[in-house]
Amino acid sequence: MKARHLITYVILILLTASIVYPALWIVMSSLKVGNSLYSETLIPKAFTFDHYRELFTSTRYQYAQWYMNTIKVAVLSAILGTLMTLLGSYAMARFRFIGRKFGLMGMLVLNMFPSFMSLVAIYILMLQFELLNSHWALILVYSSGAFISNVFVAKGFYDTIPRSLEEAARIDGATHWKVFTTVMIPLSKPMLTYVSLVIFNGAWVDFIFARLILRTADKETLAVGLYDIVNQQTSTDFTFFAAGAVLLAVPVLILFVWLQRFLVEGLTSGASKG
């Protein structure tokens, strides 16, 4: 084996271990008896599923409500954000209109700044529209932000589709809407899968904007609720927190494994052209 291959394998093994070990440690901690995360060994001496049962039966925390809130926000954000990206990127890729270049340039500049720079503006805007402590405020923030973040990936994907396909459909009498719905959307499945997964994952794990907008425990999402569990001065529910964190990762893990093929195709297709 060549030296460079050996070094590559060593680096890959170290990277894999640095990713897998913390995740495995959280899973093992969620199965431990008691509340402490400290253990002399990675694998606990005794296993219990009591922490998982308590997540949905305990009256101290509203974990089930947080889970439903997160699903609602993430799913609606993914649907609305994907629809906005689909329509906006197609228009940017296929039509020429006044303000197109300025709009693309503006979105490119906005992508260079971190999203939390807009915290104050978003807070004042939501306060004026009386949307504070509302899930719809979060959905609007996530979906509109996702459009700006993903429009260049989606536009690049449409740029790779030959215009001859649309021209052939129009020769057969198809309208712009018919071409869009019967030709372009079916071809866009990999890109749409990638965009919807990215939006869903971002909304599922976001803490900053959820903390800014949501004000009561019954409206909180999982990221905020789990933070509150361990942020209390007298809290000792660390294994309870670990069980909640494991369940938090399950939907995202399933989606990424299930849609892995479309995810890779969408990412690479959109990146081939700017």
State yes or no: pLDDT of 271 exceeds 70: no
CB atoms within 10 A of CB 92: 21
What pLDDT sits at residue 203? 93
Domain contains 136: yes
What pLDDT sits at residue 77? 95
Instruction: Give the angle 63-144-113 at the CA atoms, nearest 5°.
Output: 100
The domain that holds 135 is classified in CATH as: 1.10.3720.10
Q: Which 3 state secondary structure label does DSSP give 97?
A: coil
What pLDDT sits at residue 83? 94
272, 156 contact by CB (below 8 A): yes
What pLDDT sits at residue 136? 94
To which residue do tokens 């009591």 refer?
50
* Confidence band, pLDDT 50/70/90 cuts, at residue 95: confident
Q: Which 3 state secondary structure label does DSSP give 221?
A: coil
* Confidence band, pLDDT 50/70/90 cuts, at residue 44: confident
The pLDDT tens digits for 175-191 are 888 888 888 888 888 88
What pLDDT sits at residue 188? 87
Distance, C-alpha 210 to centroid of its chain: 13
Compute the mean pLDDT over every residue in the chain, rounded to the nearest whole number: 87
What pLDDT sits at residue 274? 42
- 31 token code pair: 């199965």
Distance, C-alpha 74 to centroid of its chain: 8
Closest CA to 74 of 222, 190, 191: 222
Q: What φ, ψ does residue 32 adopt, rounded to 5°?
A: -80, 155
245, 26 contact by CB (below 8 A): yes
State yes or no: pLDDT of 268 exceeds 70: no
What pLDDT sits at residue 222? 92
What pLDDT sits at residue 1? 66
Give the number of domains in the chain. Answer: 1
What pLDDT sits at residue 210? 92
Q: For residues 230 and 55, give the distance between their C-alpha atoms in angstroms, rounded to a whole number.
A: 14
* Confidence band, pLDDT 50/70/90 cuts, at residue 86: very high
Q: Which residues contact 214 (CB under 8 A, 6 or more apart)?
A: 133, 135, 138, 220, 221, 224
Q: For residues 87 and 65, give the distance between their C-alpha atoms in angstroms, rounded to a whole number.
A: 33
Beta bridge partners of 32: 47
DSSP letters for 162-219: -HHHHHHHHHTT--HHHHIIIIIHHHTHHHHHHHHHHHHHHHHH--HHHHHH--SGGG
- 115 token code pair: 């999203």
Stretch 112-120: mean pLDDT: 85
State yes or no: pLDDT of 241 exceeds 50: yes
Domain contains 93: yes
State yes or no: pLDDT of 273 exceeds 80: no
Domain contains 71: yes
Domain contains 190: yes
Q: For residues 159 and 265, give the distance between their C-alpha atoms in angstroms, rounded to a whole number.
A: 15
Domain contains 127: yes
State yes or no: pLDDT of 50 exceeds 50: yes
The pLDDT tens digits for 203-229 are 999 999 999 999 888 899 999 999 988
Domain contains 112: yes
CB atoms within 10 A of CB 18: 9
Domain contains 22: no
What pLDDT sits at residue 269? 60
Domain hosting 155: range is: 63-269
Domain contains 181: yes
pTM confidence score: 0.85
Phi-psi region of 83 (alpha: psi -120 to 50; beta: other; left: phi over 0): alpha
Sign of the C-alpha dihedral computed for residues 207, 192, 110 and 141 taken in this order: negative
